[in-house]
Amino acid sequence: MNILAERGVRAIQGEMRRVFDRPTPYALNSLAWVEDLPGPAAAVVWRGSTDPWSRAGQFKGAHEGAYQGYLRAQIGGGPRRQKAGERRLQMRMPGGQTVYLVPTQFAQVDAYGNVTGPRMNKILSDLQALGGAGQGFDGNRRPGKRSRGRRRAEYYFVVWPGQAVRRTPGGRLLPNNLPPAIYQKLDVKGAEVIRPILIFAKKPPVYRQRLDPKAIVAGVVAREMPDVWADRLSKAIRRSA
């Protein structure tokens, strides 16, 4: 059982690499196996998941909620949940509409295609959506304060869906035809460059099922149980002899 549980985890990780676009180590390591459970049995578990076997509790930690969070739409299909940055930005959204963001070709992403945490924090800070009154800290950039980053003339501003008067944080009036998005403003060799970084999705991104962990583990057991059983039985006989 222990051997098959480990192979089940490896098989799911292999399928993740096949069907996902550059899965992060965080996603790949959100799975584990628990050995020597009563039964006798072993289990494939999501780290942080609620499991009837007490030993599964040892995996609570960094990956808690992985299955119930960002992987749920990939496994069960359907709309994905909001990300933390989207929930923060929604508090600033006129009318309180639900916010879902999609990166553009200009977005700075990591090797896995995701906007990095520090970059997202800088965007939220410029948009006055990072922390604030009553949240224990205020990481928002002050009006008129220059960026401390490498590009001091860089900042982000937002054009909300349905926004009538559109201005940069400096007060400059924007063209009326500028579509709703989060924009980056840069000074490049004395010229002002404005480009969209994140656009607002009109509805939640919907995923089709791309990963079926239970079916993968069942397939491993059906294919490999006879050989694993025969091998372990043979070794047990030799030891007893």
Mean pLDDT of 94-119: 83
Q: Is the pLDDT of residue 136 over 50?
A: no
Render pLDDT for 11-29 as a digit per residue (tens, 0 to 9). 999 999 999 888 888 888 8
* CA 171 to mean position of chain CA atoms: 34
What would the two tokens of residue 223 be? 């294919």
Q: Is the pLDDT of residue 106 over 80?
A: yes
Render pLDDT for 170-224 as a digit per residue (tens, 0 to 9). 666 666 667 888 998 888 777 888 889 999 888 888 888 888 999 999 999 999 9
Cβ atoms < 10 Å from Cβ of 3: 16
- Greatest C-alpha distance within the chain: 88
Do the bridges between strand 101-103 and strand 131-132 make them parallel or antiparallel, or are there none, so unpaired?
unpaired
As a whole-number percent, the residues of the chain with pLDDT over 90 amount to: 20
Q: Is the pLDDT of residue 94 over 50?
A: yes
Round to whole Å and give the CA distance between 46 and 29. 9
The number of CA neighbours under 13 Å toward the Cβ of 87 is 6
DSSP labels, 105-129: TTS-B-TTS-B-HHHHHHHHHHTT-
Confidence band, pLDDT 50/70/90 cuts, at residue 142: low
In sign, the C-alpha dihedral spanning 215, 216, 220, 223 is positive
* SS3 (DSSP) at 156: strand
Render pLDDT for 64-81 as a digit per residue (tens, 0 to 9). 445 556 778 888 888 888
Render pLDDT for 38-48 as a digit per residue (tens, 0 to 9). 777 888 887 75
127 within 8 A of 156, measured Cβ to Cβ: yes
Residue 22 region by backbone torsions, left for phi larger than 0, else alpha for psi between -120 and 50, else beta? left
Q: Return phi, psi of residue 87, to 5°.
A: -65, -40
Domain residue limits, the chain:
2-78+206-240, 82-200
* Cα-based distances in Å from 140 to 125, 144, 200: 4, 12, 21
* Per-residue model confidence (pLDDT) at position 145: 47
